[in-house]
Structure 1
Amino acid sequence: MDWDKLRIFHAVADAGSLTHAGEVLHLSQSAVSRQIRALEDSLNTTLFRRHARGLLLTEQGELLFEATRTMTKRLDATAARIRDSEDDVFGELRVTTSTGFGTLWLAPRLPRLFDRYPKLKIDLMLEERLLDLAMREADVAIRMKEPSQADLIRRRLMQTQIRFYATRSYLEKAGTPTSLEDLSEHRLVTQSPHSPQVRAGSEFVQPLVSNQPSLLTVNNYFGILQAVIHGVGIGSLPDYVTADFPDLINVLPEICSAPIPVYLAFVEELRHSKRVCAFRDFVLEELSLFKRQLSGDED
């Protein structure tokens, strides 16, 4: 089969529209349409059917799209390895992680990575949805659970736990709780029960939320932190925030969630990528420094 026709087919299937695919490929709609018809003629089948929402793949089209998607993924991985054959670490690296970890731990440390590799471009994607690394939705992931895909290289970085934190000024004003029952006398700031979150975090706070007279729920830990440091109340936060916000006081230090493992993962094809290796080594170095900060051994 003609690769040019397959490339155009893949763009149409991905966009669901001849017009949008043409814009991506810098071709006219009529040129795209001619190539699709020629491909269908060569295969003696229909690949698309028209719908009010655009073009939908037929069963045969789905089979071909799966094949072109696999080909595209492997070509992208090969291109990345070719680009990484130079001595320099440069180009784009797509990193995905949760909003909380990305904003509160990773992003503040990135200046040191860019100081070391000024030609590197980081596309940081912060969301709770797990992007598919095998389908190249991202190059590297830092996840709050062990990846389930068997074909991923994974490295356990650390574990975190959710604890209760407040500012000193808030506690001086509202008092310091000495038991879980005392929390009902305070305003709690927690993850919204309707937002995606790890099970350990949800199980930690949900038993307290239902009977809490004053409550603020937020859909990510960055928002919780902002509320806590501005004195809104006592917040449930991952303990990795303590190194960068030493003024926070751990309220009820004996109370915490179940351990939450933190993993770094990437696909096998990127094992020798200089960008991926540079980012992995940077994260490991920062974690080593972070752990020394927590233990008080920092120089």
Structure 2
Amino acid sequence: MDWDKLRIFHAVADAGSLTHAGDTLHLSQSAVSRQIRALEETLNTTLFHRHARGLILTEQGELLFDATKSMNKRLETASARIRDSEEEVFGDLRVTTTTGFGTLWLAPRLPKLFEAYPDLKIDLMLEERVLDLPMREADVAIRMKEPSQADLIRKRLMSVRMRLYASPTYLETNGTPESLLDLSDHRLVCQSLNSIQVAAGATLVQHLLTSDIQHLFTVNNYFGVLQGVLNNIGIGVLPDYVTEDFPDLVRVLPDLESGEVPVFLAYPEELRQSKRIAAFRDFVQEEIFAHRRKIREAAPQ
């Protein structure tokens, strides 16, 4: 099968338009159309339904598009590995993690990484959905549980626990609760139980709600919870790593916390030799080591 025709087919299927695909490929619409017709003749099938608003894949077209998507991902992987210099770190790196960890822990530390590797380009994808690393939806992931997908290199980075925090201003105005029952006199700021979150966090929130809390403010991610706490809305359920960058927060009811949440870094086996991933992995580990040293130094002797 002609690879060039498959490349043109993939561009048309992805764009849903001969004109847009032609713009991407720097070909005329008529040249693209001829290649698609020739491919359909070779396969003796119709790949697209034509209509006024564009093109829709037929069932046979969907099958071929699935195959070309897989081929394209593998070609991207091969290209990335070839581009990785033996001595330099440069190029694109797609990183995925949760909204909370990405906004509250990772993003504030990235200036150090860019200072060390100014030619590295990071596409940070923040979402609770677990992206498919083997299918190259991302190059590297930081996840709040051990990845279950095969063909991944994984490393446990640290553990996180959800705890209760409030601002000094809020506590000065509203008092500090001494027991779980005292929370009924305060507003709880937390993730909604309907939002995607680690099970340990949801379990802690469910436990807190048994104290007959009358005032509640829920958000669908920890960044929103943090903003609520910093703006004195109430007492928030937050991951413990936020205290490093917001040292003024006061921990409330220190005997209450969630179960342990493991944090893993993972990337595809086929990117084992990637210099960009190695640089990112080492950077994250060094930041975590620095965080642990700071905790040890601050601990009472």
Flag whether TM exceeds 0.5 (same fold). Answer: yes
TM-score (norm 2): 0.92
Q: Using the alignment, how far apart are the partners of 1:255 and 1:28 within structure 2?
A: 65
Aligned to 2:157: 157
1:194-218 per-position Cα deviation (integer Å, ceiling 9, x unaligned): 3221222122213444843211111
Q: Which stretch shifts more, 191-200 or 204-213?
A: 204-213
Residue 189 (1) aligns with residue 210 (2)? no
| CA shift in 2, pair 1:163/1:14, >3 Å | same
Aligned to 2:60: 60
1:89-108 per-position Cα deviation (integer Å, ceiling 9, x unaligned): 11111111111101111111
Aligned to 2:42: 42
Aligned to 1:92: 92
Residue 198 (1) aligns with residue 211 (2)? no
Aligned to 1:226: 227
Aligned to 2:243: 242
SS of 1:252's partner is strand
After TM superposition, the runs of 4+ consecutive aligned structure 1 residues lying more than 4 A away are 50-54
Q: Which stretch shifts more, 12-21 or 38-47?
A: 12-21
Q: Using the alignment, how far apart are the partners of 1:34 and 1:294 within structure 2?
A: 66
Residue 33 (1) aligns with residue 33 (2)? yes
Q: Using the alignment, how far apart are the partners of 2:56 and 2:213 within structure 1?
A: 49
Q: 1:18 Cα shift?
A: 2.8
| CA shift in 2, pair 1:22/1:197, >3 Å | farther
Residue 13 (1) aligns with residue 9 (2)? no
SS of 2:72's partner is helix
Q: Using the alignment, how far apart are the partners of 1:40 and 1:199 within structure 2?
A: 50
Q: 1:19 Cα shift?
A: 3.3
2:235 corresponds to which letter in structure 1? I
Aligned to 2:296: 295
Q: Which stretch shifts more, 245-254 or 19-28?
A: 19-28
Aligned to 1:269: 270
Q: Using the alignment, how far apart are the partners of 2:234 and 2:298 within structure 1?
A: 31
Q: 1:71 Cα shift?
A: 1.5
Aligned to 2:173: 173
Aligned residues: 298
Q: Which stretch shifts more, 50-59 or 118-127?
A: 50-59
Q: 1:147 Cα shift?
A: 1.2
Q: Which stretch shifts more, 191-200 or 180-189?
A: 191-200
SS of 2:254's partner is coil
SS of 1:236's partner is strand
Q: Using the alignment, how far apart are the partners of 1:19 and 1:197 within structure 2?
A: 42
Aligned to 1:139: 139
1:102-126 per-position Cα deviation (integer Å, ceiling 9, x unaligned): 1111111111111111111111111
